Chain A
Amino acid sequence: MAGSFYYADSFTNEEGLISPAKDEGNGLEEADIPPRYKTLIYDRERTPPRFVIALHPDYDHPAPGWEKVTGKQVQADYPGVLGG
């Protein structure tokens, strides 16, 4: 899959909707999400839960606090999530 991969903490808003968080040093807040974003997996089992994210090359604009990872690392942590 083309594009970049990221790990991000999750943020639950007041209506219970769960999205990736951003961390600008003031605690976790809901992140601005670029177009053509994809959640590869939402790891609820992990503490704290974590989003595994793929960003499209045209909109590779990660939010503060997102950890950039390689496809190889994603594949190692979450076998099969990238297919192939």
Chain B
Amino acid sequence: MAINWHWAFGDEDGTILTSGPGFGFSSAVGAFTGSDNSYTYIGSPARYSLGLTSTGVVTFPAAAFPSTAKGWVAAPVKRISSADLAFSSTIYNILRINGAGTGRTIGVRPGGDSKSLRFYVDNVLKETTAPYDWDEWHYLSVQFDMSTATWSGQLFIDGLAATAAYTDASSAEVSGSIQMQGMGSPVTGDWLIGQIICYDDTADAGELPRFCTRVEANVDGTNVGTWTPSVGVDDYAVLESPIDTSTYTQNAAPSASDRVQTLTNNGGANLATALGTTPTVVDSVLNHSFSGGQVLTAKALVGDGVAETSGANTPIGGAGTYYAYALANTKPSGGAWGSTDAPELVYEIVST
């Protein structure tokens, strides 16, 4: 078991994130970039974080909650130092993992003026952490298990245990949701989320800080069927980041097995060049796709030049935008991803 979903934020606001991948927001949010406002490393391509006020709640797409109802949720967070941010002990939650059946939570809240965090399991406060400087990025990781009638949870910060492990008698869950929220003053508090990585097993090393980076295609691959870019002649140029539903490539008469393929290896590019550094380990490659306009079933795939890993068959509606993804935690042809690999990104019609 391993990573089940991850997301690197781009230059996108809540409106496009809602209509594209299916995020949910309780109020308007915006993207932030810049060296102080992104969780980054030397050499990284441009990165963004998501800015939330404390009255803003983001609900991550359903794919974020692991089907095992256990694992990890990990996200770096930071407050904007220029904001007049009063820590509050009222309702604002930094991270909530919610069980659908019980409506109960394993979560993290501000600890008040002390700048510690409160950690809850099954809605019950278990422990508060030591104080932290929230003007700096800190990598929060919550290990959780709602899969049995005895829930368990533990909070880690920057790779280290920030609380003990706790249990609480509850009811087993099979589904749920993951939410994050701003922290502090509802008027001026701005809280940044750098990225999110979700794991589906408590045995995974979800406490270890990892970077999640967007990698874009830079050349077209081999298509099946007729695909027409909305602008220009290149599919990869309109299947770009940030998400923009006004540019796309279109198949006006789709048939089963039609596919559009884009590659990341133009000019000898690979993961090392795309990431701007030579990674010591690549835990996962995920292809996000957004489509609509035809009622059909489609799927996303990730390839490595030899084989492909398919995502789930996903119903696509005629109106709106539908999200499908493919996750490859190892190379489709076998073995771990390496810095010289160049993922291939595919979107394929399954049936019409």
Chain A interface residues (CB < 8 Å from chain B): 13-20, 30, 32-39, 42, 51, 59
24 contacts between A and B (CB under 8 A): A13-B90, A14-B91, A16-B103, A16-B105, A16-B123, A18-B120, A30-B89, A32-B113, A33-B112, A33-B116, A33-B125, A35-B111, A35-B115, A35-B128, A35-B129, A35-B130, A35-B131, A36-B127, A36-B130, A37-B128, A38-B164, A39-B127, A42-B125, A51-B125
CB distance from A80 to the nearest CB of B (A): 15
| Cβ B125 vs Cβ A19 within 8 A | yes
For chain B, residues 99 to 140, give those with C-beta under 8 angstroms from any C-beta of chain A.
Answer: 103-105, 107, 109, 111-116, 118, 120, 123-131
Closest 7 CB pairs of A and B: A35-B116, A37-B128, A19-B125, A35-B114, A32-B112, A42-B124, A18-B124
CA gap between A37 and B162 in the complex, in Å: 12
| Cβ B123 vs Cβ A36 within 8 A | no
List, in ascending order, chain B residues with CB within 8 A of A16's CB. 103-105, 123
| Cβ A18 vs Cβ B128 within 8 A | no
Is B93 interfacial (CB-CB < 8 Å)?
A: yes
| Least CB separation from A49: chain B residue | B124
| Cβ A36 vs Cβ B125 within 8 A | no
| Cβ A33 vs Cβ B89 within 8 A | yes
CA gap between A22 and B115 in the complex, in Å: 19
Chain B interface residues (CB < 8 Å from chain A): 89-91, 93, 103-105, 107, 109, 111-116, 118, 120, 123-131, 164, 168
CB distance from B281 to the nearest CB of A (A): 34
Given A32-B112, A35-B116, A38-B164, the answer on whether A18 and B129 have CB atoms closer than 8 Å is: no
| Cβ B112 vs Cβ A13 within 8 A | no
Describe A's contact surface by its main secondary structure: loop
List, in ascending order, chain A residues with CB within 8 A of B103's CB. 16
CB distance from A5 to the nearest CB of B (A): 15
List, in ascending order, chain B residues with CB within 8 A of A38's CB. 126-127, 164
Looking at the complex, which one of A14, A17, A34 makes contact with B128 (CB distance below 8 Å)?
A34
CA gap between A37 and B104 in the complex, in Å: 22
| Cβ B126 vs Cβ A34 within 8 A | no
CB distance from A73 to the nearest CB of B (A): 22
CB distance from B94 to the nearest CB of A (A): 12
Looking at the complex, which one of A15, A39, A59 makes contact with B126 (CB distance below 8 Å)?
A39
List, in ascending order, chain A residues with CB within 8 A of B113's CB. 32
List, in ascending order, chain A residues with CB within 8 A of B126's CB. 38-39
CB distance from A41 to the nearest CB of B (A): 10
CA gap between A19 and B118 in the complex, in Å: 9
Looking at the complex, which one of A17, A20, A30 makes contact with B120 (CB distance below 8 Å)?
A17
List, in ascending order, chain B residues with CB within 8 A of A17's CB. 105, 107, 109, 120, 123, 125
List, in ascending order, chain A residues with CB within 8 A of B111's CB. 33, 35
| Cβ B91 vs Cβ A39 within 8 A | no
Looking at the complex, which one of A15, A34, A39, A59 makes contact with B125 (CB distance below 8 Å)?
A39
CA gap between A32 and B114 in the complex, in Å: 9
CA gap between A84 and B100 in the complex, in Å: 38
List, in ascending order, chain B residues with CB within 8 A of A33's CB. 89, 111-112, 114, 116, 118, 125, 128
List, in ascending order, chain B residues with CB within 8 A of A15's CB. 91, 93, 105
CB distance from A21 to the nearest CB of B (A): 11
CA gap between A83 and B282 in the complex, in Å: 42
Given A33-B111, A34-B114, the answer on whether A20 and B128 have CB atoms closer than 8 Å is: no
| Least CB separation from B168: chain A residue | A42
CA gap between A15 and B179 in the complex, in Å: 13
